[in-house]
Structure 1
């Protein structure tokens, strides 16, 4: 089975950058300990501090789906409700 790569782009509202960053950082240790998580790295754009990006690698799509339904992700969603301007997520496969 092919590993799954995820690229998630999160754009915080300008007045909510610190809140969104703090909530995103809470996800890192919990998610890295999840079954199937190979990589879970958070980045912040050098020119646009409101732009955060997660690069994730998972053993399988099914294990990533388990992560997406985890309580800590629901807690993040509740804590940042109204603080995120835009969110995009891409499921990707490595080809080279």
Structure 2
């Protein structure tokens, strides 16, 4: 079975800034889905924790994830996030060579 990389993480912003974060985040996610070769790239606001945005990603290889991390749309997103009060950034990548539906 082909090795894949799953990434889970979150960003924390001041709850009052989420309205300003959304347009930048939408642009970033759309560019990632269109250009970076991900299998899945999902982002959601945590309904129970205002200001927390959760990410789940699935990449076909470590190389594809590495390419995403230096893609042209990364720097503008990170700069916008910083200006909008990014408080915390936590992401962890896991490699897998199997999967099953649950």
TM-score, normalization: structure 2? 0.82
Q: Is the 8 A contact 1:36 1:60 kept in 2?
A: no
Aligned length, in residue pairs: 96
Corresponding residue for 2:74? 73
Note the aligned Cα RMSD (angstroms). 1.7
Larger radius of gyration: 2
Alpha-carbon distance in structure 2 between the residues aligned to 1:17 and 1:35:
25
Alpha-carbon distance in structure 2 between the residues aligned to 1:80 and 1:29:
16
Alpha-carbon distance in structure 2 between the residues aligned to 1:23 and 1:44:
14
Deviation, structure 1 residue 46: 0.8
Deviation, structure 1 residue 35: 4.3
Structure 2 runs not aligned, ≥5 long = none
Higher mean displacement: 63-72 or 26-35: 26-35
Match of 2:95 among 58, 68, 93: 93
Q: Is the 8 A contact 2:36 2:67 kept in 1?
A: no
Q: Which has the higher strand share?
A: 1
TM-score, normalization: structure 1? 0.87
SS at match of 2:6: strand
Structure 1 runs not aligned, ≥5 long = none
- 1:32-87 C-alpha deviation (Å, 9 max, x unpaired): 12243100011111111200011110011111111110111100011121411101
Alpha-carbon distance in structure 2 between the residues aligned to 1:35 and 1:68:
9
